[in-house]
């Protein structure tokens, strides 16, 4: 069974940093692009960042320069390093896997984790 398990969320002060992790299982992690999507309380979903199996990275404007996506294929784990956090970054952060392993970096996601909550507040 394909599973994604996020961790690392929590309460952080404005200007602070947080690193999210996503442990993947049930599929060949190294073959798939992966992504992060967030959802602020009571709001819609927003794409944050994606990373190809090759390591090429893509970011939403809101994340560019502040967030860094990375992966460790030896550990089947996806990461999101978030710096200079502000209240607008408060959200549930989902790790997500695309449907197919080829040419699917930014075409959507079929498997989502349960999400990890990030709260930015003083």
Partner 1 sequence: QSALTQPASVSGSPGQSITISCTGTSSDVGGYNYVSWYQQHPGRAPKLMIYDVINRPSGVSNRFSGSKSGNTASLTISGLQAEDEADYYCGSYTSSSTLVFGGGTKLTVL
Nearest Cα residue to 98 out of 111, 85, 86, 87: 111
Residue 11 or 106 with smaller CB distance to partner 1: 106
- Write down the least CB distance from residue 74 to partner 1, Å: 26
Residue 39 Cβ vs partner 1, minimum distance, rounded to whole Å: 9
Q: Which of residues 64-103 bind partner 1 (CB under 8 A)?
A: 94, 99
Does position 26 bind partner 1 by CB under 8 A? no
By CB under 8 A, is residue 32 in contact with partner 1?
no
Q: Residue from 25, 110, 117, 121 that binds partner 1 (CB under 8 A)?
A: 110
| Single residue of 2, 107, 117, 121 touching partner 1 by CB under 8 A | 107
């Amino acid at each position: 069974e394909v599973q994604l398990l996020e961790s690392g969320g929590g309460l952080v002060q404005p200007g602070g940093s947080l690193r999210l992790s996503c442990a993947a299982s049930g599929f060949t992690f190294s073959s798939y692009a992966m992504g992060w999507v967030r959802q602020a309380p009571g709001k819609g979903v927003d794409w944050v960042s994606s990373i190809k199996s090759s390591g090429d990275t893509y970011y939403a404007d809101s994340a560019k320069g502040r967030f860094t996506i990375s992966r460790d294929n030896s550990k089947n784990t996806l990461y999101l390093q978030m710096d200079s956090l502000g209240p607008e970054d408060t959200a549930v952060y989902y790790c997500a896997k695309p449907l197919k392993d080829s040419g699917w970096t930014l075409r959507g996601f079929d498997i989502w984790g349960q999400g990890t909550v990030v709260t930015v507040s003083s």
